[in-house]
Amino acid sequence: MTESLQTSEGRSVLRMERWLKHPPEKVWKAVTEPDRLADWFPGNVTLDLRAGGALTFELDGDGDTGTITDLDPPRLIAYTWGTDHLRWEIHPDGEGTRLVLLHTFDDRAGAASFGAGWHTCIVALDLALDGRPGTDPGVDDIALHERLVAQFGLDAGTVETGADGWRVRHERQLTRPVEGVWGVLAELAPPGASAREHVLEHDAEEGGSVRWELVAGTGHGARLVLTHTGTGGDPDAALAADRARIADLLERLASVPTGR
């Protein structure tokens, strides 16, 4: 079980590799036949199984389309899904199959969400191949998401400096909806903070001004964009302080029931 995040031609590429105990021919049917895709894929799919064939996706009431870009039965199928590209490789490996997924996309901050989601889907695929479709995969999505955030370096943040000062920026996909995160964030706000419509601003002890913003993100969680700007002081110290602020927020969120 391995996963990695790379960059190719300016786009992010998530690579996931899993070993399945089932033969390639059986796995091929599960990744290409709509009735079997329904057992594990994150949405309903219809497809014209030929190179250049069309696909339609329906997920949570939203529809999207795609095109099959590569097809080599029973070894490879690749297709677009909106602006994303999915490539499924099926390799014989002993008595089973080595399944490789390459997911190419633009939203790098969403990579951990994609990775956690695909891991859960592939576990569900394995269960379906066992004859147990619909069985709870038993994946701790939140813990997996946060592990991938750290593994992919999505918690690092960036520092930009210029003639007008410096800017530290963090963009983090979260696992709780906007309203739940906003309630906890408001509790953490220091005296004198300014709040409006999911935007919170305040001065920082280490200098500069901090701005928190919650926007729609990947999946069902909020996207946090934290920017810290200043003209003096040490931007690296601000970077470390902002990472601590986000860690504090995540710790508080972890103690709140998921229903909030």
Q: Which amino acid is at 237?
A: A
5: Cβ–Cβ under 8 A, 6 or more apart, which residues? 12, 13, 14, 15, 108, 111, 115, 152, 153
Whether 259 shows a pLDDT value over 60: the answer reads: no
pTM of the predicted model as reported, rounded to 2 decimal places: 0.93
**Interval 115-134: pLDDT, tens:** 999 999 999 999 999 999 99
Element (H, E) at 182: helix 178-188
The predicted model gives 193-209 an average pLDDT of 95
- Percent of the chain's residues with pLDDT above 90: 92
Name the strand (E) or helix (H) holding 29.
Answer: helix 24-32
What's the order of all strands across the beta sheet hosting 194-196? 158-162, 165-173, 222-230, 209-216, 199-203, 194-196
Regarding predicted confidence, which is higher, 28 or 254?
A: 28
pLDDT tens digits, residue range 220-233?
799 999 999 999 88
Structure confidence at residue 258 (pLDDT): 66
Which tokens sit at 139?
């994946």
**pLDDT the model gives residue 68:** 98
- 3-class DSSP assignment, residue 210: strand
Q: How far apart are CA 193 and CA 201, in angstroms?
A: 6
For the chain, domains (ranges, CATH) are: 2-151 (3.30.530.20), 158-254 (3.30.530.20)
Residue 15, both tokens: 């690579």
**How confident is the model over 152-182, as pLDDT tens digits?**
999 999 999 999 999 999 999 999 999 999 9
Region 5-9: what's the mean pLDDT? Answer: 97
What's the whole-number average pLDDT of the chain? 95
Confidence band, pLDDT 50/70/90 cuts, at residue 137: very high
Q: In this model, does residue 257 exceed pLDDT 90?
A: no
The stretch 202-212 carries a mean pLDDT of 96
- Assess contact for 108 and 42: CB atoms under 8 A: no
Which has the closest alpha carbon to 253: 157, 162, 182, 159?
A: 182
